[in-house]
Amino acid sequence: MTQSASAVAANAIQYTITPIDLHAHLYQVVLNIPQPKAMQSLSLPVWIPGSYLVREFSKSLQGLGASQGGQLVDIQQQNKNTWVVDCSAGEPLTLSYQICAHDSSVRTAWLDSQRGFFNGTSVFLRVHGSEALLQVLHVDPPAQQPHWQLATGLTPAHTNPQGFGRYHASSYDELVDCPVEMGPFWSAEFTAHGVPHRFVVAGAPPSFDGARLIADTQKICETEIRLWHTRGKPPFERYVFMLNAMDDNYGGLEHKNSTALICSRRDLPRKGEAKASSGYITLLGLISHEYFHTWNVKRLRPMELASYDYEKENYTELLWFFEGFTSYYDDLVLRRAGLLDNNQYLKLLNKTINQVLQTPGRHVQSVAESSFDAWVKYYRQDENTPNATVSYYTKGSLVALCLDLSLRREGHAGLDQVMRALYRRCKAGPMREQDLLDVLDELTDRSWAADISAWVHGKLDLPVAALLQAHGVDCQPDTPQIAQQLGLRVAEGATGIAIKVVLRGGAAEAAGMMAGDEWLGIEPLQANTDSIGWRIHKLDDLPLYAGDAQQVLALVARDKRLLRLPLQLPPRAAAATPAKGRKKAPKAASKTDTVTLAVADVNRVNLWLDGR
């Protein structure tokens, strides 16, 4: 066991959390407040930093009770997540409650017979007025699973070899910024620039190649540390990756010295496989993204998030920078770390460019507006989302691309230098958009206000193609898939084609299709021929059964009614899926929403991708 050098402060807030019923998914939490205020207020956060949605964590809290001096005291609920305890000032107060932990995401809490996990925002009541005091956490192991281990970024004070015991946090903010993983997980350690890192994986299958994951993650960490600190160590003493491998899931959430990740088991590296699968590359990109957040949002962060208000939305227009620029660097770091080659990197960049081009909402909403609206739009997507919004992740990453390539075209060092200068200017703390403009002005001796205004606050397309061309990458129009030609996003199945999204201004919208329809078949409309109906199960069947027809009747089921909708086929539909060995037909449409990238000058490409 380890023991902290100093005794626990007399007024420290103390939490004890125990997994009391694995099958009922229940944690028991006991909160001791040595010196409460009279009528002490407490609340549970409604959101978790890094995930910009009010999630109402208090819905999982039950059985709240309080006692003082051995006597029960009354608790009055003030609103959805706040309580006031009718207690005396200065006399120790104890509260107890349970948390039902049945959310397997990285944002809340989970408990079953195989694994436990929680974020502090989901389980720890905030003691109003005591947030800056030392917070002590004691984690008990589940009685039914004595072999479990525990991993967290919290500072251990008195723990057993498996990791259970007492931890310290300097404040409530630090307490809830350190998630806890427990169970029979796989674990390994490595160092990056002299700093210890730990990687734990829950749910890994027997084929899992842990050695490869560790080697590749170490390359990512070392590359990012060098990017932010040309000399010296990173701003943390240790780091923990917590990965939960599931049948089919994906996600991550950043913290100051740790991250919680989810991936599909199929995406883990496998023993005996030399070539990285596309799923594994996606996982490495996620690791790179969340680790980059250690600097870009957890330290350098929006001024509006200088201190968190856990009770309501915290609005900022800067998510295009903090999420978008991080999204630009996540795959770029993989290329610099030697985990991708040029063609693999450009394929990923190509996908991002097409995602933005194929979003009509980019002309409706600026990426700054998208950042501000994250609370009500990005995390609450519906069938109209692509028509009304643009992602601050994808378009924000293209803003970073444009800025990086513009700097390089003008003879400057590039975006790396800007990020380091911002980090120094803002003292690894809160920043405003003006800080970025000031740094750009200082480094280049010119104003970038017009560029940032157009790219971030405007709604016109970014100069991606021209800037890529200047750095040795051809960006050519290409034939989109049939769904994009028609203006649809669908799910194909054995019974028909489920329409998920109808894009603004497309042929499907003109025909009267709508989200929720099931497209069952078509009747080609051709002169001098009998009308014959055809059943279709996938959009690739459309050219097969439409033939030379320029218009078909689409047979659609809506609310149990069968509708026959006149659908005008785009000129390129017949060429969207060419027979094997045949060349694609020439591009006839004037609108470009699909492009293909290719290396034209490998030397110029390498200068950019190597960060030289």
Kindly compute the dihedral angle of the four CA atoms of residues 590, 596, 602, 603, in this order, to the nearest 10 degrees: 50
Question: pLDDT tens digits, residue range 126-178?
Answer: 999 999 999 999 999 999 999 999 999 999 999 999 999 999 999 999 999 99
pLDDT of 612 reads 86
Residue-wise pLDDT for 350-364, tens only, equals: 999 999 999 999 999
Is residue 18 a contact partner of residue 10, using CB atoms and an 8 Å limit? no
pLDDT of residue 528: 61
- What is the distance between the alpha carbons of residues 248 and 267, in angstroms, rounded to a whole number? 9
Residue 249: pLDDT over 90:
yes
DSSP letter assigned to residue 154: S
Most confident of 113-127, 474-488, 565-579: 113-127
225-244 average pLDDT score? 94
The answer to whether 440 and 431 are in contact (CB under 8 A) is no
- Whole-number pLDDT of residue 493: 85
Strand partners, 200: 187, 242
The model's pLDDT over 300-336, given as tens digits with 9 standing for 90+, comes to: 999 999 999 999 999 999 999 999 999 999 999 999 9
For residue 548, what pLDDT is reported?
A: 86
- Provide the pLDDT for residue 585: 37
**If pLDDT is split at 50, 70 and 90, which confidence band does 410 have?**
very high
Let me know the angle formed at the C-alpha of 394 by 390 and 397, rounded to the nearest 5 degrees.
Answer: 130
**Cα angle at 75 between 73 and 79, to 5 degrees?**
170
pLDDT at 496 over 90: no
Mean pLDDT score, 244-253: 96
Question: Two tokens at 523?
Answer: 């009747």
> Could you give the percent of the chain with pLDDT greater than 90?
89
Per-residue pLDDT at 525: 85
Query: For residue 85, which of 28, 31, 10 has the smallest C-alpha distance?
Result: 31
pLDDT one-digit tens code per residue, 10-58: 899 999 999 999 999 999 999 999 999 999 999 999 999 999 999 999 9
Strands (DSSP E) contained in 75-179 are 75-79, 82-85, 93-100, 109-111, 116-118, 126-127, 135-139, 149-152, 155-159, 165-169
pLDDT score at 232 = 80
pLDDT of 530 strictly over 80: no
* Residue 572 pLDDT: 52
Query: Are the CB atoms for 176 and 120 separated by under 8 Å?
Result: yes
pLDDT at 591: 62
pLDDT at 584 exceeding the cut of 80: no
In this predicted structure, the answer to whether residue 4 has a pLDDT above a threshold of 60 is no
The CA distance from 571 to 583, in Å, is 16
Range in 119-133, 224-238, 292-306 the model is least confident about:
224-238
pLDDT for 583 beyond 50: no
Which of 42, 119, 45 is CA-nearest to residue 311? 45
